[in-house]
Structure 1
Amino acid sequence: MIGFAFKAQSQRVDPLLANDLEAQEIWVDSIMNSMSIDEKIGQLFMIQAYSNLDQKHEDFITEMITKYHVGNLIFMQGTPQKQAVLNNKYQSISKLPLMVGFDGEWGLDMRLEDTYRFPWNMTLGAIRNDSLVKKFGEHLGQHCKRLGIHINFAPVLDVNVNPENPIIGNRSFGESKENVTQKAIAFTQGMQKYKVMANGKHFPGHGDTASDSHHTLPLLDFDKARLDSIELYPYKKIFDAGIGSVMTAHLNIPSLESNPSLPTSLSKNVVTNLLQQELGFNGLIITDGLNMKGASDYSTSAEIDLAAIQAGNDMLLIPQDVPATVNIIKQGLLLNTLTEERLNFSVRKILKAKYWMGLNNYKPVVLENLHEDLNRVEDDLLHRELVKNSLTLIKNEKQSIPFSNLEKQKIAYVKLGDANGGDFLKMLKNYTKIDVVNANNLSDLKDRLEPYNKVIIGFHKSNNHPWKSYKFKSKELVWLQEIAREKEVILDVFASPYSMLQIKSFTNIETIVVSYQNSKLAQELSAQLLFGAFAANGKLPVSIKEDFKEGFGLQTYSLSRMEYTIPEAVNMSSVKLKEIDSLASVILEEKMAPGFQVLAARNGKVFLQKSYGYHTDKKEREVRNSDVYDLASLTKILASLPLIMKAEEEEKIPLSASLQDILPSFRNTNKAEVSVKEILSHFGRLKSWIPFYKATQDSITGLNSDQFYSRRKSKTYDVKVAENLYLKHSYKDSIYKYIKEVEQREREGYKYSDLGYYLFKEALEEKYEKPLNKLVDEEFYASLGADRMTYLPLKKFHKSVIIPSEKDDYYRNQLIHGNVHDMGAAMLGGVAGHAGLFSNANDVAKIMQMYLQKGFYGGRRYLKPETIDKFNTRYYEDKKVRRGLGFDKPQLNPKVEATCGCVSNESFGHSGFTGTYTWADPQSGIVYVFLSNRTYPNMSNRGLVRSNMRTKIQQVIQDAIIN
């Protein structure tokens, strides 16, 4: 024993003991009694095996096993399929089962292609729910077990107190010894639950080094008290928790080993006296890789290996010369510099470990479904939870996060860093309008940012591996400060938190989010956090100078905006949902529509958002999720109805009011006494529709009359019907005259009608003294972030993102592209109560989700819960009217297929002539949106309607509910 002031530890429980201790002893004894000296020596080696090398390498491994009795392999780069094959091959030729090791700190992806990558330890260190880290250990244990791996060289126990550490950094859980310890214990317990041994590394502590032991021998020049209080703290705790093995590091620590050239991995003072005797560790002791310069520069390979065993290590990881090592160990046994008792001590521990791992009942790796088993949806779910819970808000000076009052925000996005930020930007745009602003120089950038009141700056660095540079360029630091000096900035760091050590001042940066990694998932979830889809809960695992201390993190709250996730996160089956792809193929193959969008959400979480096909049959432009469709009659419930609800709450348009009450010009007409409730329920005996445009055409030629139309806009002809087609301004009066004078239906009962919504438009515009399009945008769309929902889309969007609706050969005689398809709405200039609205599926879902949340969305109450309930009620069900107020409802007559017949009676929605459909079900929590241009090439294309494809997809979604 060397004399120093570590507290003596009582001998700890042996972590290698199996539950069936007696059977374990019998098995170990029987093998020990049958082994030759060469076979025993072979058990000390764990050599590198690759699954991406040639036959020469396979032959070498075979020789190591058969000739030198090597008892353990560590698989390195390759593929899981080939590794499994080689694993089975090598096990079959080994007299004793091989212990297979792996270095997979963040998952098998650390070495193998096509396997799962979980977050790095620094990211996990930000999570304050250790049960999630335990789950990570469990999942990694399951992966290892499935691939025939028995020991995974993780967790990293290094307390990373040195920000400039070149080799640990992101691999550490952070700078707090308590946090590192808690995370490591949770991970270990999770992984060892599946009999995959954990390995604490790098003993006695690599967290405060300034050099990389792969290339040199790092120096830790600390006294014993410091080492005991920080570096050794996690080891003492995790030994009590039962970790099975430890990796000894190649370090120079003068306070532990006086020989400056002797690495700690080869020091008896460290491995035997400190680790085993002082700290009482009874598990396997394995060297760090003996190919690393920190060890290999010490002496010859064989002498290093012998020194490692003499120091107290049980296993030699990646020895460089097995034959020579065998010889030098045998020579040591002859010369008594190494005793057989010492050899037996380590061999017995290795065999005990193999029994603990289940190798007494070795079974080959099953090759079938290997890829699927290593890339499970359960892993995706856990990955999301890990990342979501790591995201850390460390500054929120103006309470900018989560974004609220979107109608007041004009937001720009500026990317810094040399990695891609596309997934972040794409997700941000799901919530509101975000403009990308870039420039070649700072002056131009500042000019272009002038119109914006908020600037999101994403700092994106490589996510390839944790050793990649995370630092800002000098130019980027200048740009960051200059933008922040003039604008309100939200900085989102998709890199190590240590990157912020370069920022001289945080004074002008109002908001800072640390997302830790630049993965697709980190980008997507961080964007959702900014908009309040869920709350921020992460805490910094390291300190950022004196500004932000380790353990600091602000909490936010959810604004009940939609979250974007995977089906299983809301108990939906992704396998079942694949049936939608089959239905989509039928729609496209049978030309029911050139393309379409499908979106589905449950409990406020979008789990399906997909576009199919093309804008037209020319197949020149694929449909994207951001493209907008003519919604047709969905306009009724997405534009008119929310305003009618608001007006009803404000007693401007009461449900009990008659038409003459809300539009005095209808006094003394045959519709004067029809109530608002009757019109909304389609029970007001109104005609279904009137083809107003036909009255403006020559009765003989069918051509549009010059009396009503001009190809040029003027004061007289200022109503744009389509491109180069303008209607006489005064004709609007004729439309309302027709409605007033047209006969009522004689028979009482249900009849779907557009006419009432022409009238609601007039009433709303009179009550609020604003055009319908501006009114609904100001009251709902702008604050909802529904920036893709609009009337008159050509005024807002480039034509390339608008889906054409029809090749019109009967009225406008042109491709209807960006102008409303509905003829009556077109004659009102594109803004009507029954049609005229354009949107993508995502923004339709926002309105429907607001309804489902009883009028609340994005932190704002739009409508009262009782208002939603009032309108989502059938008032004439006894008259066989299925409709609510404005909302369509499930069919009462089974022969009518308004829905799939699989939704609850509480559900509501609407369908549109152009091939659109949306439905929400409070019982299941599902919002469903289907948008298409089935009217292309013309409206006689009714295959989509006849086949009920929209409701068949609805059925698939309903059937996909797991519980």
Structure 2
Amino acid sequence: MHKIVYLTLILFTYQFSFCQNTTNPLLTKDALAQKKWVDSVYNNLSLSEKIGQLFMVRAMTTANTRDVNNIKTLIQDNHIGGIIYSKGGPVKLAKLNNMYQGMSKVPMLIGMDAEWGLGMRLDSTYAFPWNMTLGAIKNKQLIEQTGKHIGEHCKRLGIHFNFGPDVDINTNPKNPIIGNRSFGENREDVTAHAIAFMKGLQSAGVMATGKHFPGHGDTETDSHHALPTINFSEKRIDSIELYPYKQLIKNGLESVMVAHLNVPALESKPDFPSSLSEAIITNLLKEKMGFEGLIFTDALEMKGVANFSNPGDIDLAAFLAGNDILLISEDVPKAIEKITEAYQSEIITESRLAYSVKKILMSKYKVGLNHYKPVNTTHVIEDLNRLKDDILNEELFENAITVVKNENNVLPIRDLNQKTIAYIKLGDDSGSAFLNELKKYTKVHEVQSDSYGFIKTKLDNYNTVIIGLHRSNANPWKSYEFTPDEIRLIESIAETHTVILDVFVKPYAVLDLPTLNNIESVVVSYQNSEVAQEKSAQIIFGALEAKGQLPVSVGNGLHAGDGIATTAISRLGYTIPERVGIDSKKLNKIDALAQRAVDEHMTPGVQLLVARKGKVVYSKNFGSHTYDKDSEPVKDNDIFDIASITKIVATLPLVMEIVEQDNEISIDTKLSELIPDYIGSNKANITLKQMLSHYARLKPWIPFYVATLDSTKMPSHAFYSNAPSELFNIKVFNNLYLKRDYPETMQQIIKDTDLLPTLKYRYSDLPYYILKKFIETYYDRTLDHLVQKHFYESLGMNLTTYNPYLKFPMKDIVPTENDNYYRHDVVQGYVHDMGAAMQNGVGGHAGVFSNVNDIAKIMQMYLQKGFYGDKRYLKPETIDMFNTTYYSNKGNRRGLGFDKPQLGTSGPTCGCVSMKSFGHSGFTGTYTWADPDEELVYVFMANRTYPSAEINMLLRENIRTDIQELIYEAIIN
């Protein structure tokens, strides 16, 4: 009798709430229209149709004909009120959904477990980071955005309920079923994250479901397999487990899912599931906590409740306890039969039935099922994998990754020239994305061994070891622990090396480590996705800051909320174009131009890179090393002969350094003052400024090699030998050695040669022959050694070098020409330029080999006014001095060493760059340009000289500058 009176009061409250109670989360803005629709539908339902509304059944999108027919029967004969979709694909789901909805008298509520996105259940859909990862993020707006994006995905597929967020407070590291699904262990943080997620989800028009009530966070039992016990006092449960629900309810939570838990403090019946408990659902959730939204059971097939009674009896008990929707019943017809019998026996009153069914109908109205429309089945995959999802996913990991130890400020890694770095992969999953990203910053060698016991012996040549624990990212329940062998290995390496340990698993893995005393840095990256690996590597090298905080305590004195903020140190990062104001669709138009260059045999291969605002947003390769069908395709780490770009990445930075540091030398210093040998020559009064501006009446070039050929146009024995000796020690090519004194002869020829008759702009290689001699004399070191030590090593330009045949395998070096006039062979690994070849491969004007990523680093250093990777290479005023056009009034566009935009209608750029911009091109087809106004770096590598250098179609067709123009057209803001 008491129950009947109570249910009558509830029904009165329900009727009254349509017009009066604005706290009911199921109410819409037009409550009267909602009530009218709900009452109309309800009054037109038969008893069996009303009872059918209580059931939400599982449907697989991978279903066979029998399973589909079973769902059809449940819709037609049992009038089910909803479907929860599980495994399969989105397109099939959309089509099935339309079919099933078309069969239902009342449109059905569609639900899904999409805690971290549709990817939790469906292939070809988006998976955002797990809750534990999100729990590390301080910025709650990002959490709200995540909820909104997931809601938009759900809505696109006609899904009205997301059974999330999981608001369990995971205070037990051994919890087998929650763990990564929890936002953490701190009730305030969990609650704040859950509210943000809920608001985002509901703002997209999809209902949120707080679960697993009253709290599944502190258990070591999986309720899918048995009934877990939450053995705490009522006071503890009220202050911890129930805390998030209280706050979520205040903030408009629309539904709750009740777990299958044994909670003795809340339910006196022994071993009685909370999902069947009137004390927990009606007395606590509805009455005491005032929740008026929908209440779901957890799946009634789960062993935590299914072991309790027989099919049908469980459903009846769940409904009598106060649940509204019975989820995944083991036997719907049997359950309907049991509930019908209870109704006819007045165990269930009409008011009790109406209370739940009308709440269900209210929800249907709220999600728009009063005006049901089928799901559009076109472009489903594209709509569920949007660019803005990728952007958000990047931002989430950037904000989540947590540095929990950073002794002596090891992170970010600085002073690359002093670091020898090894990487060791632990775990059973791939760490290739992490390693590849690390290698973008400096030389990192992976050390491998079949036995962990032998790895340590391979580390003698390294002072820094990065260790990554990589385990499966397939789902949040996968194994995450270190093995005993892995722990021993870490401890052993940490005794003798600086160690950076990065765990790409849930943070509880750190609990396995007996001590962190000898480990300098520990990074928690939470998941082993490619994005997590890439962003973690960027944090390690200072392209990104570390911002995350631990969501849980992990021993070794590390508690929830801990996290060490690291700083970014002005190194290039890698991201999505839109994040730096570039339209990726427009940017990708350059693919066609690059491919055209390859297809039309303008060049066999191309590397392309675009960076803006310190972020590389485009890096692609096209073609192969040669036109041969079995030729090696161009790869990221392939290196090209950059030809005259050598001028601005080798000679010029050293000249700037000298001018900056030596008070006796300026840009107005005369050549006779730089090199006393020039006293009395016709070049004595040429200034450094004039030489670097190509405004010194110097000849464009001198074909030095021609004078060393015999009458048959072959290298003369008077100048060359096929074997090295004391007399012939300048290696020009394989089995070709030039007399050791010939480079000095070349210098004498330059000194003695006539000047051009007219002073005007005339591009010349000769200043760089002269400056090479000056630099090497000034430092008493060779140019290749100097530029490596002063710039390349610390910049992390580890693929940039002279004479790459000495350092790299030939398969990684792109050939430049099939030379039929000097070396009579394919030139690969040796400099293409003949004059540079005659200087042992080290020219001031040519000779450097590199790839787009390395060139982008030095161009970015210039763009940042001489600063990169927390190191000051050159002063801003020095950069400005050399990036100035001094003779523009004479029709000369050149800066000091740097090429500059055209003066007039023709020149080296698209004509769309700022006048502050600078760069250079190379004879082999290379090109690089930087624009301070747009914070833009563009690098183009090619070997257009292969197989022959005679016809420059790449230049004739304006491929490089047309690509440059497309880059500028892609800039949004």
Same fold per superposition (TM over 0.5): yes
Amino acid at match of 2:647: K
Match of 1:487 among 497, 503, 526: 497
Determine if contact 1:658/1:674 at 8 Å carries over to the other structure.
yes
CA distance in 2 between counterparts of 1:588 and 1:927 reads: 23
Unaligned segments of structure 1, at least 5 residues:
3-9
> What CA RMSD, in Å, does the superposition of the two structures yield over aligned residues?
1.3
Q: Kindly indicate whether residue 614 of structure 2 is the aligned counterpart of residue 627 of structure 1.
A: no
1:821 counterpart (832, 847, 862): 832
* Matching residue of 1:755: 766
Q: Which amino acid aligns with 2:479?
A: S
1:872 to 883, 886, 895: 883
Q: Which of 363, 366, 375 is residue 365 of structure 1 equivalent to?
A: 375
1:414 aligns with 2:430: no
Report how far residue 546 of structure 1 moved: 4.7
Alignment partner of 1:217 is 2:231: no
Match of 2:392 in 1: 382
Question: Across the two proteins, how many residue pairs are aligned to each other?
Answer: 954
Question: C-alpha deviations, 1:555-597, integer Å up to 9, x for none?
Answer: 1111010000111111211111222221122111111111110
Q: Which amino acid aligns with 2:346?
A: N
Report what 2:952 is aligned to.
942
> Paired residue for 1:667?
679
1:855 alignment counterpart:
866
- Residues 560 and 858 in structure 1, CA contact (< 8 A), matched pair in contact too: yes
2-side partners of 1:454 and 1:33: how far apart?
A: 74
Aligned to 1:465: 475
- 1:443 Cα shift? 4.5
Distance in 2 (alpha carbons) for counterparts of 1:79 and 1:446: 46
Which 10-residue stretch deviates more, 327-336 or 646-655?
646-655
- The reply on whether 1:559 has 2:574 as its aligned counterpart is no
Distance 1:734 1:776 in 2: 24
TM-score, length-scaled by structure 1: 0.98
Moved more, 943-952 or 286-295: 943-952
Q: 2:254 aligns with which of 222, 244, 247?
A: 244
* 2:717 paired with 1:721: no
SS in 2 for 1:201: strand
CA offset at residue 92 of structure 1? 1.3
Identify the residue that residue 7 of structure 1 maps to in structure 2. Answer: none
What residue in structure 2 maps to residue 5 of structure 1?
none
Tell me the distance in 1 between the aligned counterparts of 2:803 and 2:910.
32
Q: Distance in 1 between matches of 2:355 and 2:131?
A: 34
Is residue 2:930 matched to residue 1:902?
A: no
Q: CA deviation at 1:875?
A: 0.4
Q: Distance in 2 between matches of 1:624 and 1:653?
A: 42
Secondary structure of 1:608's match? strand
Partner Cα separation in structure 1 for residue 884 and residue 383 of structure 2: 48
Alignment-derived partner of residue 666 in structure 2: 654
Quote the offset at 1:620 in angstroms.
2.5
Selected match of 1:569 from 550, 559, 579? 579
* 1:195 paired residue among 198, 205, 226: 205
- Give yes or no for the alignment of 1:693 onto 2:708: no
- Asked if structure 1 preserves the Cα contact closer than 8 Å seen for 2:859 and 2:930, the reply is yes
Distance, in Å, in 2 between the alignment partners of 1:150 and 1:653 is 74
Q: Does the CA-based 8 Å contact 1:12-1:281 persist in structure 2?
A: no
Residue type of the partner of 1:676? Answer: L
Partner of 1:529: 539
Q: Is 1:454 paired with 2:468?
A: no
Deviations 1:278-304 (A, max 9, x none): 111110000001111111111111010
Structure 1 equivalent of residue 240 of structure 2: 230
* 1:644–1:653 Cα contact (<8 Å) kept: no
Amino acid at match of 1:338: I
Residue number among 800, 809, 827 corresponding to 2:811 in the alignment: 800
1:461: Cα distance to partner? 0.8
Please give the secondary structure, in 2, of the residue aligned with 1:398: helix
Length-normalised TM-score, structure 2: 0.97
Once the two structures are superposed, what CA deviation does each residue of 1:70-105 show, in whole Å capped at 9, x if it has no partner?
111111111111111111111111111111101101
- Is the Cα–Cα contact under 8 Å of residues 102 and 153 in structure 1 kept in the other structure? yes
Q: Is the 8 A contact 1:204 1:249 kept in 2?
A: yes
Does residue 784 of structure 1 match 2:795? Answer: yes
Which amino acid in structure 1 is aligned with residue 699 of structure 2? Answer: K
SS of the residue 2:26 aligns to: coil
Give the CA deviation at 1:470: 0.3
TM-superposed CA distance for 1:135, in Å, is: 0.5
Report if the CA contact (8 A) 1:789-1:837 is conserved.
Answer: yes
- CA shift, 1:439, in A, is 2.1
1:355 corresponds to 2:376: no
Distance 2:320 2:452 in 1: 62
Distance apart, 1:897 and its partner CA: 3.8
Give, in whole Å, the separation in 1 of the partners of 2:617 and 2:361: 48
Task: Supply the distance in 2 between the matched residues of 1:441 and 1:303 (Cα, whole angstroms).
Answer: 57
Alignment partner of 2:29 out of 19, 23, 37 = 19
Aligned residue runs from structure 1 range 138-287, under 5 A = 138-287=148-297
For residue 51 of structure 2, what is the amino acid of its counterpart?
A: I
Whole-angstrom distance in 2 between the partners of 1:66 and 1:568: 49
Counterpart residue number, 2:527: 517
Secondary structure in 2 aligned to 1:689?
coil
User: Shift of residue 12 of structure 1?
Assistant: 9.0
The DSSP-based 3-state class of the residue aligned with 1:782 is: helix
Residues 209 and 256, structure 2, Cα contact 8 Å, conserved in 1: yes
The answer (yes or no) to whether the contact 1:12–1:280 under 8 Å persists in 2 is no
* Amino acid paired to 2:539: L
2:12 is aligned to none
Distance 2:951 2:451 in 1: 53
Following TM superposition, by how much is the alpha carbon of 1:768 offset from its aligned partner in structure 2, in angstroms? 1.4
Alignment deviations for residues 649-699 of structure 1 (CA, whole Å, 9 cap, x no partner): 12354100111110110111111111110111101110000000000011x
User: Identity rate of aligned residues, in percent?
Assistant: 53
Aligned equivalents of 1:951, 1:863: Cα separation in 2: 29
Distance 1:232 1:167 in 2: 19
Q: 1:108 aligns with which of 110, 118, 133?
A: 118
**Secondary structure of 2:84's aligned partner:** strand
* Contact 2:297/2:325, CA 8 A, preserved across alignment: yes
Report the Cα distance in structure 2 between the residues aligned to 1:245 and 1:101, rounded to whole angstroms. 12
What is the CA–CA distance in structure 1 between the aligned matches of 2:359 and 2:876, rounded to whole Å?
67
Q: Note the C-alpha offset of 1:814.
A: 1.2
Q: Is the 8 A contact 2:668 2:687 kept in 1?
A: yes
After the TM superposition, which of the residue ranges 55-64 and 44-53 deviates more from structure 2?
A: 55-64
Residue 745 (str. 1) matches residue 756 (str. 2)? yes
Which runs of structure 2 are paired with 1:40-189 in the superposition (5 Å)? 40-189=50-199
Per-residue displacement from partner, 1:584-617 (whole Å, max 9, x unpaired)?
2211111111111000000110000111111112
Query: Which blocks of at least 5 consecutive residues in structure 2 are unaligned?
Result: 4-16
Residue 6 (structure 1) aligns with: none
Aligned-partner SS, 1:467? coil
User: 2:231 & 2:913 partners in 1: Cα distance?
Assistant: 70
For residues 802 and 314 of structure 2, the distance between their equivalents in structure 1, rounded to whole angstroms, comes to 77
Pair 1:890-2:901 in alignment: yes
Matched to 1:680, the amino acid is L
Aligned CA distance change for structure 1 residues 546 and 773 (closer, same or farther; 3 Å): closer
User: Structure 2 residue aligned with 1:327, among 337, 362, 384?
Assistant: 337
Q: Which moved more, 1:947-956 or 1:209-218?
A: 947-956
The structural deviation recorded for 1:442 is: 4.2
Matched, 1:919 2:929: yes
Whole-angstrom distance in 1 between the partners of 2:470 and 2:126: 22
Q: Is the 8 A contact 1:333 1:339 kept in 2?
A: yes
In 2, are the aligned partners of 1:84 and 1:147 still within 8 Å (CA)? yes
For the pair 1:308 / 2:318, whether they are aligned, the reply is yes
- Output the amino acid matched with 2:568: S
| Partner Cα distance (1:349, 1:495) in 2 | 41
Q: 1: distance between equivalents of 2:587 and 2:95?
A: 34
Alignment partners' CA distance in 2, 1:371 and 1:441: 44
Alpha-carbon distance change, 821 to 653 in structure 1, aligned in 2, over 3 angstroms: farther
The corresponding residue for 2:415 is 405
Cα contact 1:248–1:288 (8 A) shared by 2: yes
